[in-house]
Amino acid sequence: MLKKFIFSLSLNVCGAFCYALAINCFLLPSHLGEGGVTGLMTIFYYWLKLPPSLTNLCLNGLLLFIGWKLLDKRTVFYTLVAVGSISVCLRLTALWHFKLHDPLVAAISGGVLMGLAMAIIIKGHGTIAGSTILAKIVNKFLGIKTGSALLFFDLLVAVPSFVVIGFENMLLTVIELYISAYVLNKMLEVFVVKRSFMIISDKSAQIACALAKLNQTGITLLEATGYVSQKPKKVIYCICEAKDTVKLMRKIEELDPQAFVVLEDVRSAYGFELAKLL
């Protein structure tokens, strides 16, 4: 339990550092904006010269009241860690400007780093607050991908920002937001998405036993009947981590090369006690 706690804390701090680098090294030097609270933070920096670290704390502190009621307390706690770490890292890297001649390169680099940072923080059970809290709420209740929901809320701030940063930089900001949302979705697929197997084989007992040992989770055997043959069949159903897919596929092929296998992505899987019973 302590190891998981320390690991999650480390992920939030690491993600916060990457997030601060994206802002200070790529976005601010090229006069680019952002979405959500970070977008407001950059606008206040360009317009009023307010320190991003201070703006980040104040605006996200207000939005955390929303998250306190609608998100679980663990997420809120790690969000506090992430927001505090971002403010500290923004302060520490305030002079780390990386001026690029082509602002499009800055938009692409900042977008990739921003998406990576948010994925690391979400993997650590936190958020960067702001529009990320709204995106997590939408994902929880409507099932829309976190990155896609985040892009929508970010555009609500990014598009009007052309008044401060100019039309061309606003378009570059939209490109940066799209890239960060794309990277976030892809990273979350690697971190979060599980895979489900449905296997029909004459060696179902052997395969089920082997998969249970490899996957360290329960295996479900479903009763079925072949429509053409009218013979009873045992259908194996199991859920695994995405990283274990190749290992399980090799074992299935080794035991029965003729097995019929259906492999699908699973957006969510809940119920630890149920998983042990399967």
CB neighbours of residue 258 within 10 Å = 9
Given a contact cutoff of 8 angstroms between Cβ atoms, the answer to whether 220 and 278 are in contact is yes
| Largest Cα–Cα separation, the chain | 76
What CA–CA distance (Å, rounded) separates 262 from 175?
37
CB neighbours of residue 160 within 10 Å = 13
- What domains are there in the chain, each with its CATH number? 2-191 (no CATH), 194-277 (3.30.70.120)
**pTM of the predicted structure, to 2 decimals:** 0.67
Mean pLDDT is lowest, of 93-97, 188-192, 222-226, for 188-192
Tell me the pLDDT tens digit for each residue of 98-130. Answer: 777 888 999 999 999 999 998 898 888 887 777
Assign 274 a pLDDT band (cuts: 50, 70, 90): very low
Given a contact cutoff of 8 angstroms between Cβ atoms, the answer to whether 63 and 129 are in contact is yes
Tell me the pLDDT tens digit for each residue of 219-259. Answer: 888 888 888 888 888 899 988 877 778 888 888 899 999 88
pLDDT higher than threshold 50 for residue 278: no
Higher-confidence position of 48 and 269: 48
Given a contact cutoff of 8 angstroms between Cβ atoms, the answer to whether 18 and 1 are in contact is no
